[in-house]
Amino acid sequence: MWVPDDAGDARDIEVDLSAQYEAEAWYSQWFQETFPARVSDHLMRCYLNKYGGDVDDRVRNGIEVAGRLLEAGFAAPALVFAASSVEMCMTHLVYEGFVLGAVFQEAWAGRLTVRRLDLDSEKLFKEVSKFLARFGIDLSRVRLPSGELFWETWKDETWPKRKAIVHTIESLEGIEGKASARRGIDCAKTLLDDVAYPVALALGFEVRDGRIAWHDVDLEDPVTGEKSRSNSEGESPFKRDTRRR
């Protein structure tokens, strides 16, 4: 069995794919056994401080584009954009941050997120539910504006229809097709506003002008206990190119 050496930095084993896969399996099993007993709020804050703003922008842009497509009568692409917004929000504003808080390394957090993330699985639901319970959020009770349950709508309707549209070129027709796309858009808004934002607030972020100020938060050194004010606005892989083409 492979055991990590000096925290098992992922970059150290890039040249050995078999060791890489074994290492991922080791970390995945270790994460499953230890989570959520040990999760660093400090590392989650650092992750969200670095990437949260750009991910938030992409998610909101996806929701906006989905709404415009639906208004123009294109229900199928509207649902795809809505589902992609849920996917990005769940992956990078909810899941990857708490994986980093558990494994303490950004490289391994990224690898485990890819390995473990199955967007409509019971495993994901249970892991995310355990994490959110730390912040008083019951994922099984999060509801859309219509009163329908978020997770049931996502798992049973939005994600399956997104896969059918993308992989088998299914279409969404008529009133029910538009309603399905609307529920997908509501899923994205609900996950962002009623799940990701409350977690960020609990971690010490603030709302300014209706948005979380991701780039400005008190970061406490876990060793010294000293707090410093971060204002991180560096480049991230999620930054949108807003230049006109």
Percent of the chain with pLDDT over 90: 44
Residue 170 falls inside a structural domain? yes
Task: Collapse the DSSP code of 244 into the 3-class scheme (helix H, G, I; strand E, B; otherwise coil) and give the result.
Answer: coil
220 pLDDT more than 90: no
Residue 110 falls inside a structural domain? yes
Task: Collapse the DSSP code of 222 into the 3-class scheme (helix H, G, I; strand E, B; otherwise coil) and give the result.
Answer: coil
What does the pLDDT read at residue 217? 80
Residue 86 falls inside a structural domain? yes
Q: At a CB cut-off of 8 Å and minimum separation 6, what does 63 contact?
A: 81, 82, 85, 185, 188, 189, 192
pTM of the prediction?
0.78
Residue 244 falls inside a structural domain? no
Higher pLDDT, 49 or 222: 49
What does the pLDDT read at residue 29? 59
What does the pLDDT read at residue 137? 94
Question: Under a CB-based contact definition with an 8 Å cutoff, are residues 184 and 175 in contact?
Answer: no
Strand partners, 36: none
Task: Collapse the DSSP code of 47 into the 3-class scheme (helix H, G, I; strand E, B; otherwise coil) and give the result.
Answer: helix
What does the pLDDT read at residue 33? 57
9 pLDDT more than 70: no
3 pLDDT more than 50: no
What does the pLDDT read at residue 7? 47
Band (pLDDT 50/70/90 cuts) for residue 4 is very low
**Which range (18-32, 115-129, 210-224) has the least confidence?**
18-32
Q: Is 210 left (phi over 0), alpha (psi -120 to 50) or beta?
A: left
Domain count, the chain: 1
Task: Collapse the DSSP code of 183 into the 3-class scheme (helix H, G, I; strand E, B; otherwise coil) and give the result.
Answer: helix
Digit-coded pLDDT (tens) for 86-129: 999 998 888 877 766 665 555 555 555 555 555 556 777 887 88
Digit-coded pLDDT (tens) for 133-147: 888 999 999 999 999
Identify the helix (H) or strand (E) that includes residue 141. none
Residue 141 falls inside a structural domain? yes
What does the pLDDT read at residue 1? 36
156 pLDDT more than 90: yes
Residue 228 falls inside a structural domain? no
Residue 176 falls inside a structural domain? yes
Residue 18 falls inside a structural domain? no
Structural domain range at position 73: 39-214
C-alpha to C-alpha distance for 98 and 85, rounded to whole angstroms = 19
* Residues 185-200, mean pLDDT to the nearest whole number: 97
Band (pLDDT 50/70/90 cuts) for residue 245 is very low
Band (pLDDT 50/70/90 cuts) for residue 165 is very high
Q: Closest Cα to residue 62, out of 201, 162, 144? A: 162
